């Protein structure tokens, strides 16, 4: 019989629950007084106590957190041992009676008095609800393989559920029916075998065993000396023994191999055992609580069968086995468990081991003349844990909350919000816009079962995953269309379901279960289709950019292996199927673009990363949302990202990963921060400001390279913080006698006036050598800029010569075109006699060039030709103000912006797009190269051309340009930029 520590008061009378921590050092108890107490052993006189409510029904511990089911009808997580609230995992309409957690600590199951069971993914918050019981749930037990879920209820049933689809696999009506958990004698706390092959169900007088393959009874466990009600079960850490707490105060220890009782304990007052738990680090220790809330600890439990039958005891005493230790060792070899000293003979066909001592039962049975039963030798199979692949995360919509919620956000972005309500009363969708000037709010009935959506300034797109009978559908409400037909729907093919979608500038991208990306126009035209290497995770779009995240393979244990592909709808690829970096044991939580068009994403660890286009399209961390949270389970839910001003717009979620729909959550702003080393030092702070400013202003260069213009004044404003940080870093390095470091800082300065200030500062500190080296840097950068200017001037001269030659050819072609026009007019007069006809004639290329560079009438061969502004054609006035961006060399100031583009136009109407001025009439490469913006030489030449013609009246156009270029080179550099 095990020894029991003195019982001590833990909680008030009623239902009491307990568990051990993972290391077996602490015991956690909860009871009807609503407190949770943490005991360092049963003899701890100063237990830590935390109040959780008026009543606490069950406690479970895993991974430095403990979970409590309280009378608030919730399952709440708390930090250990501090006891701070760490999030609500499940809500019911009645208290939860029992909870259990899987071995990894990633899944929690709770059964409630409202007849329902909920299975919760602790990391993501995804919930599965099991319904079917007709009375309060007594207990729940999750299969170690997480394929099945077993539950018992006051309606007298034990139900086996399939976790994947929540269907009932088997139902056993084997328990007595009661109206409430307080009226039952046995709590029927179910227990699985360690490998999940058998399910143990406590009943009256026995414990039944069910096989998972057939769900039929394979036997039972019972003790001839006990005839009470088994109530609670718990499996030993090694899975070889089963502890059973009974209604009359008994605790029985069973060997699962022999199905016999090896040890027992009887409560001194005969009180019902409400809960018990093995110590995970000590198999001979069990903690228990009784109905009066007393805590007890059993130790020195005999797991080898100390309670032998009387007949065997008399035989052993007769043979004197207990007097000799050597014989005692030999007796152990004759027991049911095979010994290491058993010998197997290879040459013999008989595989029976040759034991040192013959079993005593053979001699006893032979005297009576009956043959002894043949007991087969049992071989223990040692199971070694192998590699368990990490389940891949499912597809999701960035800016949406989980689909299982009755009220959820289908989309929340910079344009508007799409809310879905899925209750018994209604199934509807509400759409509202942040700026009502875009469109008024809309209310739709969700009869089609839409679960995905996106909204832009032009359209709202909805998609349904489809079912067996109904195909998956894509619906677009193009409210920005000028016609009356503003809605269209396209069903997918059979067996193909929509898993993600996104809206771009004038297109829609849809990812399907067939690993296809389908591109539609806003009008419903199927524009393109292509395949991706793995199952899609999410999509995101901005202007003409499409960002795709997908599974590219099997990751390391606990990690997701995701790939990312960044492209434009025209086909240009920026990131070609590269791995997506994620934090350890985390998943992708959000992915999208900033208002300026830079890709960003956040993982479940709260790390925000952005695409660094300046450093090989790499990903760099720019924020850690977890550093701004108060609780361990608090999170931030991203709404939008802006680079100018630097803002990370998020919704704080206390104790959850997703915000509730009601009340409407408030949006907060988090700052960016690059994780440099030693951020508490002044040097690192200046470096962080410089790197962060460089990162968050790189979008200007990207849009400039693909043909968009921007205002140079905006770029100067964005660069000011970085230049100020460099000046402060230079001063700090100089004051610290780090001259070489100070010179490195000067190499990073791009403005001449900042370098001049650095020279003055070095001279004031009497660092003359540093000042000289900075002067050399200034001279080198000036020489490089001068070379660039000379190259540009030579290019201008060649360009003017090409234009002059082209004009001569145009003049020759004009005469031929005029003759063709006269012939056409004669034909038109002839055709008009037959009736009114519409005369259409396509302009030739020469005619287009003539309008661009020549005059409308016959040219004067003695007149110096100058480019004239072409006469607008009817219907083309909308393009009059648009110009192709000037092709400038690096470092040169842009001379002219026809319509300056603001670096950031962050308004809901524009959806964060950069306002662009882009050429729409690009004829061919030769004509493109001839349409160049005016440089400093062009402006100077226009002002002085009349003066040069008076000085050189006989000079032709080519010699006039050459003379002007020679004079322009002699002008000082400062005067050249006066007209710019």
Residue 918 has a pLDDT of: 41
- DSSP one-letter code for 182: G
For 880, other C-beta atoms within 10 Å of its C-beta total 11
- DSSP one-letter code for 322: G
Is the predicted pLDDT of residue 336 greater than 50, yes or no?
no
What is the sign of the dihedral through the CA atoms of 626, 628, 630 and 634?
negative
Per-residue pLDDT band at 975 (split at 50, 70, 90): low
Element (H, E) at 75: strand 74-79
Residue 891 tokens read as: 């470092």
For 579, other C-beta atoms within 10 Å of its C-beta total 13
Residue with the two structure tokens 């000042």: 771
Per-residue pLDDT band at 421 (split at 50, 70, 90): very high
Is the predicted pLDDT of residue 429 greater than 80, yes or no?
yes
pLDDT (average), residues 343-350: 40
Element (H, E) at 575: strand 573-579
Per the DSSP assignment, residues forming a β-bridge with 464 are 473
Per-residue pLDDT band at 324 (split at 50, 70, 90): very low
Measured CA to CA, the distance from residue 564 to residue 572 in angstroms comes to: 15
Residue 219 tokens read as: 């036997």
Residue 683 has a pLDDT of: 92
Is the predicted pLDDT of residue 910 greater than 50, yes or no?
no
**pLDDT tens digits, one per residue of 821-847:** 555 555 555 444 444 433 434 444 344
- DSSP one-letter code for 544: T
**pLDDT tens digits, one per residue of 757-781:** 899 989 988 889 999 999 998 888 8
Is the predicted pLDDT of residue 703 greater than 60, yes or no?
yes
Per-residue pLDDT band at 817 (split at 50, 70, 90): low
Is the predicted pLDDT of residue 128 greater than 60, yes or no?
yes
For 877, other C-beta atoms within 10 Å of its C-beta total 9
**pLDDT tens digits, one per residue of 566-607:** 998 876 778 888 999 999 989 999 999 999 999 999 999 999
| Full-model pTM | 0.55
DSSP alpha helix (H) spans, 419-495: none
Which residues contact residue 450 at a Cβ distance below 8 angstroms, ignoring those fewer than 6 apart?
A: 410, 420, 429, 462, 463, 464, 475
Tell me which residue of 322, 414, 391, 345 sits closest to 554, measured CA to CA.
391
pLDDT (average), residues 423-446: 90
Tell me which residue of 825, 858, 819 sits closest to 841, measured CA to CA.
825
pLDDT (average), residues 609-614: 92
- End-to-end, the C-alpha distance of the chain in Å comes to 100
Contacts 24+ apart (CB under 8 A), 963-972: 964/937, 964/940, 965/793, 965/796, 965/797, 965/937, 968/793, 968/937, 968/940, 968/941, 969/793, 971/940
**pLDDT tens digits, one per residue of 715-765:** 788 888 888 999 999 999 999 999 999 999 999 888 888 888 899 989 988
Is the predicted pLDDT of residue 625 greater than 90, yes or no?
yes
Residue 54 tokens read as: 């008026």
Instruction: Give whole-number Cα distances, 828 to 545, 585, 814, 824, 832, in Å.
Output: 49, 78, 21, 6, 6
Q: Which of 184-198, 210-224, 355-369 has the lowest mean pLDDT?
A: 355-369
Residue 344 has a pLDDT of: 38
Instruction: Give whole-number Cα distances, 348 to 297, 351, 379, 423, in Å.
Output: 50, 7, 19, 72
Per-residue pLDDT band at 962 (split at 50, 70, 90): confident
Is the predicted pLDDT of residue 630 greater than 70, yes or no?
yes
- Cis upstream peptide for 417 (omega within 30°): no
Which residues contact residue 845 at a Cβ distance below 8 angstroms, ignoring those fewer than 6 apart?
A: 923
Instruction: Give whole-number Cα distances, 929 to 796, 803, 885, 886, 925, in Å.
Output: 12, 10, 12, 11, 6
Upper half-sphere CA count for residue 106 (Cβ side, 13 Å): 11
Per the DSSP assignment, residues forming a β-bridge with 652 are 636
What is the sign of the dihedral through the CA atoms of 673, 677, 682 and 683?
negative
**pLDDT tens digits, one per residue of 292-323:** 999 999 998 988 875 444 444 444 444 444 44
Residue 874 has a pLDDT of: 38
Which is more confident, 653 or 350? Answer: 653
Q: Highest mean pLDDT range out of 157-171, 743-757, 942-956?
A: 157-171
Residue 806 has a pLDDT of: 64
Strand order in the sheet with 250-255: 230-235, 241-246, 250-255, 260-266
């Amino acid at each position: 019989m095990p020894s029991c520590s003195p019982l001590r008061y833990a909680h008030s009378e009623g239902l009491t629950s307990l568990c051990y921590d993972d290391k077996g050092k602490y015991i956690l108890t909860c009871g009807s007084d609503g407190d949770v107490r943490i005991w360092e052993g049963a003899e701890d006189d100063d237990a830590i106590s935390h109040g959780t409510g008026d009543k606490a029904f069950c406690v479970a511990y895993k991974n430095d957190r403990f979970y409590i089911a309280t009378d608030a009808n919730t399952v709440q997580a708390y930090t250990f041992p501090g006891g701070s609230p760490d999030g609500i995992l499940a809500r019911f309409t009645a208290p939860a009676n029992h909870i259990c957690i899987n071995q990894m600590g990633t899944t929690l199951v709770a059964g409630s008095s409202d007849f329902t069971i909920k299975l919760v993914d602790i990391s993501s918050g995804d919930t599965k609800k099991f319904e079917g019981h007709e009375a309060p749930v007594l207990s729940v037990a999750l299969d170690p393989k997480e394929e099945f879920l077993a539950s018992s209820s006051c309606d007298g049933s034990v139900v086996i559920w399939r976790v994947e689809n929540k269907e009932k696999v088997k139902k056993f009506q084997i328990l007595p029916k009661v109206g409430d958990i307080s009226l039952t004698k046995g709590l029927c706390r179910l227990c699985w075998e360690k490998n999940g092959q058998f399910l143990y169900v406590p009943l009256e007088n026995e414990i039944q065993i069910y096989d998972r393959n057939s769900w039929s009874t394979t036997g039972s466990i019972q003790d001839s000396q006990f005839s009470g009600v088994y109530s609670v079960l718990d499996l030993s850490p090694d899975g070889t023994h089963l502890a059973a707490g009974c209604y009359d105060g008994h605790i029985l220890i069973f060997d699962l191999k022999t199905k016999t009782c090896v040890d027992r304990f009887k409560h001194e007052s005969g009180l019902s055992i409400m809960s018990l738990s093995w110590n995970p680090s000590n198999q001979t220790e069990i903690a228990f609580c009784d109905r009066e809330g007393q805590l007890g600890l059993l130790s020195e439990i005999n797991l080898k069968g100390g309670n032998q039958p009387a007949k065997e005891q008399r035989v052993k005493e007769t043979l004197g086995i207990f007097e000799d230790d050597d014989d005692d060792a030999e007796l152990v070899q004759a027991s049911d468990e095979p010994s290491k000293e058993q010998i197997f003979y290879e040459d013999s066909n008989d595989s029976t081991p040759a034991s040192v001592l013959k079993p005593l039962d053979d001699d006893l049975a032979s005297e009576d003349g009956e043959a002894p039963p043949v007991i087969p030798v049992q071989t223990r199979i040692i199971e070694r844990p192998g590699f368990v692949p990490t389940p891949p995360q499912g597809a999701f919509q960035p800016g949406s909350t989980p689909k299982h919620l009755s009220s959820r956000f289908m989309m929340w972005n910079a344009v508007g919000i799409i809310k879905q309500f899925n209750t018994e009363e209604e199934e509807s969708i509400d759409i509202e816009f942040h700026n009502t000037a875009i469109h008024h709010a809309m209310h739709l009935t969700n009869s089609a079962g839409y679960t995905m959506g996106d909204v832009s300034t032009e359209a709202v797109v909805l998609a349904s995953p489809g079912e067996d009978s109904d195909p998956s559908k894509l619906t677009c409400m193009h409210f920005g269309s000028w016609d009356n037909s503003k809605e269209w729907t396209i069903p997918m093919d059979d067996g193909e379901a929509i898993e993600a979608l996104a809206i771009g500038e004038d297109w829609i991208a849809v990812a399907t279960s067939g690993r296809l990306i389908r591109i539609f126009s806003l009008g419903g035209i199927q524009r393109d289709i292509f395949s991706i290497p793995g199952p899609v995770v999410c999509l995101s779009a901005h202007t003409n950019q499409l960002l795709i995240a997908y599974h590219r393979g099997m990751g390391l244990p606990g990690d997701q292996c995701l790939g990312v592909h960044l492209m434009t709808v025209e086909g240009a690829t920026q990131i070609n199927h590269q791995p997506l970096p994620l934090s350890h044991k985390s998943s992708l939580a959000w992915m999208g673009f900033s208002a300026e068009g830079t890709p960003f994403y956040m993982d479940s660890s709260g790390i925000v990363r952005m695409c660094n286009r300046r450093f090989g399209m790499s990903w760099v961390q720019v924020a850690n949302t977890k550093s701004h949270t108060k609780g361990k389970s608090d999170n931030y839910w991203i709404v939008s990202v802006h680079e100018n001003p630097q803002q990370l717009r998020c919704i704080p979620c206390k104790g959850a990963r997703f915000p509730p729909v009601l009340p409407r959550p408030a949006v907060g702003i988090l700052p960016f921060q690059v994780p440099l080393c030693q951020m508490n030092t002044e040097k690192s702070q200046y470096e962080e400001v410089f790197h962060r400013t460089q990162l968050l202003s790189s979008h200007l260069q990207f849009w400039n390279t693909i043909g968009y213009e921007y205002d140079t004044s905006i770029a100067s404003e964005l660069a000011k913080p970085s230049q100020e940080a460099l000046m402060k870093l230079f001063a700090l390095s100089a004051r610290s006698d780090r001259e070489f470091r100070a010179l490195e800082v000067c190499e990073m300065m791009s403005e001449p006036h900042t370098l001049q200030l650095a020279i003055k500062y070095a001279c004031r500190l009497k660092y003359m050598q540093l000042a000289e080296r900075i002067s050399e840097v200034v001279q080198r950068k000036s020489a490089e800029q001068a070379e660039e200017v000379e190259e540009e001037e030579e290019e201008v001269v060649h360009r003017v010569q090409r234009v002059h030659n082209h004009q001569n050819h145009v003049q020759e072609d004009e005469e031929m075109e005029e003759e063709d026009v006269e012939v056409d007019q004669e034909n038109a007069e002839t055709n008009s006699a037959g009736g009114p006809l519409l005369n259409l004639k396509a302009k030739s290329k020469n005619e287009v060039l003539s309008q661009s560079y020549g005059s409308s009438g016959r040219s004067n061969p003695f007149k110096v030709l100058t480019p004239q502004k072409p006469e607008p054609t009817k219907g083309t006035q909308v393009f009059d103000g648009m110009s192709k961006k000037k092709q400038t060399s690096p470092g040169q100031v842009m001379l002219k912006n026809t319509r300056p583009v603001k670096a950031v136009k962050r308004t809901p109407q524009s959806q964060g797009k950069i306002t662009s001025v882009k050429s729409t009439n690009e004829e061919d490469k030769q004509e493109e190269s001839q349409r160049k913006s005016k440089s400093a030489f062009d402006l100077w030449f226009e002002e002085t051309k009349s003066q040069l013609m008076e000085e050189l009246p006989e000079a032709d156009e080519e010699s006039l340009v050459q003379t002007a270029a020679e004079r322009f080179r002699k002008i000082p550099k400062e005067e050249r930029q006066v007209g710019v």
